[in-house]
Structure 1
Amino acid sequence: MKDTIGLISQEDKEFYKTNGYWISPVLFDEQEIEEMRQAHDRIWSFDYDGDGYPLEEWRKSSNPKMLRKIDNSWWINDTIRKTVTSPVLGRIAAGLMDSTEARLWYDQVIYKPGTGTSEKDALSPGNVGWHQDYIYWQCTNTDNLVTAWIALQDTDLTNGCMSVVPGSHKWGALEGSDAFFNRDLESVKARIAEESGKEWKEVPLLLKAGQASFHHALTIHGSGQNYSEHPRLSVVAHLMPHGTAYKNRGHNVDNIRLLGPRPKEGQRFDNEYFPAAYSEEMQQ
């Protein structure tokens, strides 16, 4: 993995602040990409490192074209752990969040099967509906979280790349944007556009293998069908800034259980379940 020196500039940070996303140079080499692809194979085969289980275990579907997603796979795969807590991702995320630290909120390993067809399926089981991540994370006291989405192959519209709506991180939290599992992209877009009252513009994030896209927790994003013969593989790290703490807004996710049996307002997400990928103290 490359050093971050020179990889993110003040201009990059300004682009992120304006648009709510940023695309990195290639961060991972061919060997690291292959190791992450092998991690995918092991995870979907329930071949775990250690005797524990992920926070959310993958359940095999009878539909081979259904999107696969698993949360907190760093608990059960050493390669994923190394990737999502890497100082490179951490330093970039800290820079984008204007934070002295970047901690792992949680990770996701995502497998989008190929359909092997040129015909568009408006309700493809591989679609990811337009959504804002923060709608699911309102148990945090800040919306200043960032997601790093790592491509394990060249990724574009032909194999279902992610698209974002630039500037939508400035629209606030939209209740209609909780549609990760809604495959009808057009109806979700219409609903969010109506609620926001803003002009809708989509930008596809075209990545080379080993690149990562970073987006703000309020940036609206989604992805469509994978028309290729091969699955689209990715590893995703959700990272949070220094001082992120629990806030009871009635939108709690499974992660609050990791604070203990009786989480309290203001309790920081800074224990062993939320490892630091980067902090200024680590560099001293």
Structure 2
Amino acid sequence: MASVSPAERESFQRDGFLKVEKLISVEQAKELREHYEELFQGKFPTGIYPDEWHWREGISKPDKFREIVNAWKSSPLVAAVALSPDVAQVAASLMGWEGTRLAQDDVLWKPPGASGVGYHQDSAYISQNFRPLENNSVTVWIALDDADEETGVVEYAVGSHRWPLHDDSATTSSFHGADDEWAPLRHAAERAGVGPPEIRRLTVPLGGAVFHHQDVWHGSGRNRSSHRPRRALGVHLLKRDLVWRREPRPDYIYGRYMLSEDSEEVSEQFFPITWTPSGYTSPVVRRLLKPTNKKPRLEADGMKKA
């Protein structure tokens, strides 16, 4: 069982994020990033299309940011990480949850010359679809290439998850190619009355990761390299025991998976349970993570296997 030290939990709760030097093995990270080429060519091993597929070879510009959402349905290699009980347990330990489920994964590819990612909070796009809202989501950003100053480091406004929340500030953010990527952060800081925020830029090595809270403000710089891509896998995890927001209806990305207009149940079929203290996981997780399939090895410093 993976564990988180009290110092790591305290750091996460104070800053809103925690960097992990080694979450998956270098070998698995390399295999996964090489798989991205065929995913963006539309070669999906399971024969199931992902929920979203942004960037098409021969149509989209080569330097545009690329993203595929919910490739766990399409690729066993992605599923092995996105549905990992070990990764899910670390998130639960940091958030104080009694169980974790998958919200979505994000196959991310920032090619040379691609623009940065504007400052935003993940809660505006994920957490707010569910109730209770507070502390219901955490993101795991896993580096499949070295993320550094040249390729565009991940950067955070330290402690911004503890700022007073205002519904309008997070939703004004534009992810890619914004004229002013810092504008939403400045607006949120002004509304919170905190002054200029402390920004921490994290270099993350291949196979390393950052766990971050749903409400922490974050973004990344443009890829200034002439030849190095920056690929990553984002895994958005939810607290197990939550229900759908009723009013207003959840946005279409999530709301299309409501079982009925009258049901608040969040279905395990679409949002599989990936870790519980009892060891229970959803049937789809058990099926996709059979021993014959590859599973990630948790290698984080201070996160031991017991």
What TM-score bracket applies, with the shorter chain setting the length?
A: 0.7 to 0.9
Q: Which residue of 2 aligns with 1:232?
A: 230
Give the one of 76, 79, 83 matched to 2:77: 79
Asked whether 1:157 is paired with 2:160, we answer no
The aligned amino acid for 2:236 is H
Give the one of 214, 219, 222 matched to 2:219: 222
Q: CA RMSD in A?
A: 2.0
Report the more deviating stretch, 169-178 or 238-247.
Answer: 169-178
Q: How many residues align?
A: 269
Give the one of 177, 188, 194 matched to 2:190: 194
Shift of 1:270: 4.1
Is there any run of 5+ residues in structure 1 with no aligned partner, and where? 116-124
Give the one of 47, 50, 55 matched to 2:51: 55
Q: Which residue of 1 aligns with 2:268?
A: 271
> Which TM-score applies when normalising by structure 1?
0.88
The aligned amino acid for 1:100 is E
Shift of 1:249: 4.2
SS at match of 2:91: helix
- Counterpart CA distance in 2 for 1:209 and 1:11 is 24
Flag the 1:251–1:163 CA change in 2: closer, same or farther, 3 A: farther
Q: Which residue of 1 aligns with 2:162?
A: 170
| Contact preservation (8 Å) 1:182, 1:188 | no
Q: Which residue of 1 aligns with 2:125?
A: 136
| Contact preservation (8 Å) 1:90, 1:103 | yes
Shift of 1:282: 0.8
Asked whether 1:211 is paired with 2:200, we answer no
- Counterpart CA distance in 1 for 2:176 and 2:247 is 22
Shift of 1:140: 0.9
| Contact preservation (8 Å) 2:69, 2:106 | yes
Flag the 1:132–1:182 CA change in 2: closer, same or farther, 3 A: farther
- Counterpart CA distance in 1 for 2:262 and 2:111 is 38
**Aligned residues with identical type, % of pairs:** 27
Q: Which residue of 2 aligns with 1:91?
A: 89
SS at match of 2:54: coil
Flag the 1:81–1:53 CA change in 2: closer, same or farther, 3 A: same
The aligned amino acid for 1:242 is R
Q: Which residue of 2 aligns with 1:36?
A: 32
| Contact preservation (8 Å) 2:9, 2:93 | yes
Flag the 1:68–1:143 CA change in 2: closer, same or farther, 3 A: farther
| Contact preservation (8 Å) 1:149, 1:214 | yes
- Counterpart CA distance in 1 for 2:159 and 2:182 is 19
| Contact preservation (8 Å) 1:105, 1:274 | yes
Flag the 1:44–1:134 CA change in 2: closer, same or farther, 3 A: same
Q: 1:67-112, CA deviations, whole angstroms, 9 ceiling, x for partnerless residues?
A: 1112111111111011111122111001011012111011101101
